[in-house]
Amino acid sequence: MKAAIAPLLLWAHLAAAAQVAARTDRNRLVLEWQGDETIQVSVSRARGLLRSPVDIRVDQRAISFDGFYAVFNGLTDGYSAKVVEAAVRGNSIRVVHRLEHPELPAPAQVAFDVLMSPGNKAIRFRVTTQGEKLHLDRLGLGAHHGDG
């Protein structure tokens, strides 16, 4: 397994120590940071993080983005994606996708770990990929929605 990118940081801001917890809430996985304010990251258990809404709340403010997109071996579209794992792991969220494409030599696995630290307000998305003769050309964020 190889790291696709360095951790992507969203909402980086130093803060006093807080409590971090992850939980399952019906059909969603929720990661929550509670300190001087409450930060929640929520993702669908069924749809995961690829081209699927990710909701972020800071107290009463909300923003969302249309998940991540990936381009492997120059192939932008035509993937079929399946969530093979979506679970709380301690104080983090783990989502594993299996991607298939007629032009890829074998299925690709894309794993996301969503983490927060008690010492700051950063939301970290650690992304790893695995697959035969697979090259990750691009990983990006979908469009965002809300006032932020």
CA distances from 60 to 37, 57, 63, 147 (A): 10, 7, 10, 11
Question: What is the chain's pLDDT, residue by residue, as a tens digit (148 residues)?
Answer: 454 444 455 545 555 679 999 999 999 999 999 999 999 999 999 999 999 999 999 999 999 999 999 999 999 889 998 998 999 999 999 999 999 999 988 899 999 999 999 998 999 999 999 988 888 899 999 999 987 5
Residue type, 3: A
Q: CB of 139 within 8 A of CB of 125?
A: no
Q: For residue 21, how far is the Cα from the chain centroid?
A: 16
Q: Which residues contact 137 (CB under 8 A, 6 or more apart)?
A: 71, 72, 73, 74
Torsion-angle region of 90 (φ positive above 0: left; ψ -120 to 50: alpha; else: beta): left
Measure the CA–CA gap between 98 and 109, rounded to whole angstroms: 5
- Overall pTM > 0.95: no
